[in-house]
Amino acid sequence: MSAAHHSSEQTVTVTRTIAATREAVAALPRPLGLVATMGALHEGHLALLRVAAGQCAAVVVTIFVNPTQFGPHEDLSRYPRDERRDAELATAAGADLIFAPPVAEMYRPGAATTVRLDGPLATLYEAAERPGHFDGVATIVAKLLSIVGPQRAYFGRKDAQQLAVVRRLTADLDLPVEIRGLDTVREPDGLAMSSRNAYLTPAQRAKAPELYRALQAGRARAADGSRAIVAEVTAKLVIGFPPNLRLADDPDDPRPSFSVDYVAVVDPLSFAAVGEQRPDPAILDTMTPDTMAPDPVAPDSLIIAAAHLGATRLLDNVAVGPATAEASDPGSSDSAARQEATARQNTTPYEPHPHGGAAAAKEE
């Protein structure tokens, strides 16, 4: 049952095995929603949960730090984990079942199947920066959809390429589930919420919102074409904003600076590049927006960027035309839920149980 139907004595079951999860799911009412997470829940996850609870008769939350989507030198070992806190947050936000399996349950000895996509989705941007990442994402999402069997699954738009991968695999495999993408939930200063934001030092945290500001600056150049957008975003990331401009690659400047992985304008479904683009910051001095001939940019295109602040990698995106992106996705039409999620950003880490009782979890 959704959060609106939880009683103060409601106990939310936590399952550890696929068999127990399928048995528990069979008893839940339909339509059934799924919110797949790696734990370390924040307001972005909880916003997905609240929307799912409002649109579905029951909601399953998965908590699983998936090792196959981490590269050999990434942060698998230090990725934040606090399952008790996550269970409390998920329960208060409307979860009816929590599936938190061990790695050995999801990847058994002898497993030899991987879900792998082709095309720009599987070769460019995040796929190029993190080889094998989307193989791991596609495989675990396909497994979770098979185990839970939801009618709707909810994902955030911050990880736009991941959302496109999930849409593509469910369409190609004819999976009977509706994928709903919801707007990125941001901190009051604009930084997209992410579990990895906890890695930022205070100085880096103060710098981090400039990623979103740079994307907004790029969107303002949309009429000048995709090359102008890429040039504007890259310049803002490398040089900064007045009055705190910096020389690119100045080793004597102690302030935190972005190391840009990519900036691009892409189709939101295929992630094919839109128009002619030159995103390499190494040629920043040749990228003069005012001298570039405009190339058409469809209003539903995405401006995407990824950059490092120290050891922490941040990624974000904005739509060239936000209204068109919303209109194409029924999962994002709940503006009241988005406003509520934004309002909660300045409140306590999680809300009390709807009827005042303590959220409880029962393990199976």
Catalytically active residues, by annotation: 45
| Tokens at 119, concatenated | 């095309």
Distance CA 48, CA 27 (A): 23
> Residue 295 in contact with residue 194, Cβ under 8 Å?
no
Distance CA 282, CA 279 (A): 9
- Per DSSP, the three-state class of 198 is helix
Residue burial 198-230, b: 16+ Cβ < 10 Å; e: rest: ebbeeebbebbbbbbbbbebbbebbebbbbbbb
- Per DSSP, the three-state class of 76 is coil
> Residue 17 in contact with residue 105, Cβ under 8 Å?
yes
Q: 311, 70, 83, 61: which is closest to 204 by C-alpha?
A: 311
Distance CA 304, CA 266 (A): 7
> Residue 136 in contact with residue 69, Cβ under 8 Å?
yes
| Tokens at 303, concatenated | 């401006």
- Per DSSP, the three-state class of 247 is coil
> Residue 94 in contact with residue 56, Cβ under 8 Å?
no
Helices (H), ranges, the chain: 18-26, 43-55, 83-93, 103-106, 120-123, 126-129, 133-148, 160-172, 202-207, 210-219, 226-239, 322-327, 335-344
> Residue 148 in contact with residue 21, Cβ under 8 Å?
yes
